[in-house]
Amino acid sequence: MAHATMTFPPDFLWGTATSSYQVEGDNTNSDWYTWEAAGHIKGDLGAGRAADWWENAERDLDIAAEMGNNAHRLSLEWSRIEPEPSVFDEVAIARYRAILQGCHDRGLEPMVTLHHFSNPLWLVEKGDFNNDIVINYFRRYATKVATELGDLIPKWITINEPMTYCVMRYLTGEFPKPSRLGFGGLFEAIHNLLRCHVAAYHAIKEIHPEALIGTANNIQIFEPRPGGNIIDRWWANLVRRIYNDSWQDALHTGRYRGLVGSKFFEGLAGTYDFVGVNYYTRFYVRFPPPPGFVERDWGPDAVVSDGDYGEVYARGLFKVIDHVWKRYRKPIYITENGVPDAADRLRPSFLLDHLRQVWYAINFCYPVMGYYHWSLVDNFEWDRGWTQRFGLIAIDPQTQERTWRPSARLYREICQSYSLNDEMAQHYAPGMLPVMWPGDLPGSSEPRTL
């Protein structure tokens, strides 16, 4: 019997998150498809059939339901819905309808992302976010989706991680090449992404005024490297302002503040009903920045995930929630949080520790309404191919065999009981017991010795 329990509200949303290109497979009309073919991906495996969702999403939705989830965040592939300009594929739309209905039938409330890093090839030929023609195209795409599928979509994300997307594409060159590389192209793209968001927000609300709409923001902890000087601190502040805050600030005030100057966008202020937070890690930064922008040296005590992806820093999630609430005063969803960990050596304690931060926040009246773990299943991890595994469920991409990692069983216990308790910690991550309950557990026969 559990001695100590941290209980979540009865209306809390327990989900996982995926994105279309990463799980569907064979998205041949996307810019990622040609980027992969040109050899820009780590490892020998491309997306291929990915997690086979185009044919078989239902197999994993069954697993999500079995895992006690009551929500799922997924994205739509624009290049499937509109494979050529102005040509909408009704078969693809019907398939998405079946997948969304499949979510509802299994008690999984869908949250749907319209743009998650992937573009139709025809749009890229026209210069995509470096050409303001994209705004009308995005409005039309959003209108089509709202008209055909909106009755099944209570929650929307217009754009996933606009800042990550632009940095990886326009500055570091890890994502498919844009028409204008560099800072000029980057800020032009951010402006056009903001205009796309505005267009989609109003288009969806016109058809479904009850829809809840936001964006999923990659918000990390950026700190000056230990022992850093005043310039490192200035740089950390600047990185936080631009990377973490500038996008959501613009949705709040209507004005985007870049590196120099600011720009007002008509109809933008207040175009969000909630803030989506994708939280993964803490980065140290220094000026001038090393190649790749962030330090890869976390210090001797840091717990670092596979492939040097990042430090496990759970307290950062609470800090981000606190920051976002004080800045925007809107409901918060943790739209992504996860760790690449093929052997599941970190994920059980990662889950307990991060969800403890969410529980703590809720108990101090921060309106965190739901948590979507990244990810339900292993999937195609963009430029890192299949070299990093984020799934609660392991997938062999060649055989499509699925295996429950221990953390999937832990997440099931959490979702089913709406709680974290000492029995779970004892079973899945005993090292977390003294972290989560530093005092002697009530009724425990073994008092802790110091």
Which region, judged by CB under 6 A, interacts with ligand BGC, from 136-144, 156-164, 197-205, 256-264?
A: 156-164
Residues 408 to 437: which contact ligand BGC by CB under 6 A? none
Query: Exactly one of 218, 244, 349, 357 binds ligand BGC (CB under 6 A); which one?
Result: 218
Q: Residue 344 region, left (φ>0) first, then alpha (ψ -120 to 50), else beta? A: left
Pick the closest to residue 340 from 376, 372, 310, 298 (CA basis): 310
**Least separation, in Å, of the C-beta of 196 and ligand BGC?**
17
Which region, judged by CB under 6 A, interacts with ligand BGC, from 26-34, 61-69, 158-166, 355-363?
A: 158-166
Neighbours of 335 (CB within 10 A): 29
CA 154 to chain centre: 18
Collapse the DSSP code of 363 into the 3-class scheme (helix H, G, I; strand E, B; otherwise coil) and give the result. helix
DSSP 34: H
**Least separation, in Å, of the C-beta of 380 and ligand BGC?**
8
> Does 245 sit near ligand BGC (CB under 6 A)?
no
> Does 77 sit near ligand BGC (CB under 6 A)?
no
For residues 329 and 273, is the Cβ–Cβ distance under 8 A? no
**For the chain, how many residues are written?**
450
Dihedral sign for Cα atoms in the order 162, 391, 419, 443: negative
Binding mask 313-342 for ligand BGC (x = CB under 6 A): -----------------------x------
For residues 86 and 123, is the Cβ–Cβ distance under 8 A? no
Residues 277 to 316: which contact ligand BGC by CB under 6 A? 278
For Cα atoms 166, 376, 142, give the angle at the middle one, nearest 5 degrees. Answer: 50
Query: Exactly one of 19, 27, 217, 421 binds ligand BGC (CB under 6 A); which one?
Result: 19
Residues 351 to 410: which contact ligand BGC by CB under 6 A? 374, 381, 390
Binding mask 177-216 for ligand BGC (x = CB under 6 A): ----------------------------------------
- For ligand BGC, the closer of residues 78 and 374 by Cβ is 374
Q: Rounded distance, CA 188 to CA 128, Å?
A: 11
- For ligand BGC, the closer of residues 35 and 265 by Cβ is 35
Query: Exactly one of 36, 60, 128, 161 binds ligand BGC (CB under 6 A); which one?
Result: 161
**Least separation, in Å, of the C-beta of 160 and ligand BGC?**
5
Both tokens of residue 406? 């221990």
> Does 79 sit near ligand BGC (CB under 6 A)?
no
**Least separation, in Å, of the C-beta of 176 and ligand BGC?**
14
233: exposed, middle or buried (Cβ count in 10 Å: 0-12, 13-18, 19+): middle
Collapse the DSSP code of 18 into the 3-class scheme (helix H, G, I; strand E, B; otherwise coil) and give the result. coil
- For ligand BGC, the closer of residues 83 and 307 by Cβ is 307
Collapse the DSSP code of 243 into the 3-class scheme (helix H, G, I; strand E, B; otherwise coil) and give the result. helix
Query: Exactly one of 30, 160, 217, 407 binds ligand BGC (CB under 6 A); which one?
Result: 160
Residue with tokens 């950062």: 316
Which region, judged by CB under 6 A, interacts with ligand BGC, from 62-70, 135-143, 160-168, 432-440?
A: 160-168
Q: Give CA separation, 303 vs 180, 347, 349, in Å.
A: 37, 12, 11
For Cα atoms 225, 231, 237, give the angle at the middle one, nearest 5 degrees. Answer: 75
Number of residues counted as binding ligand BGC (CB under 6 A): 11
Interface residues with ligand BGC (CB under 6 A) are 19, 22, 160-161, 164, 218, 278, 336, 374, 381, 390
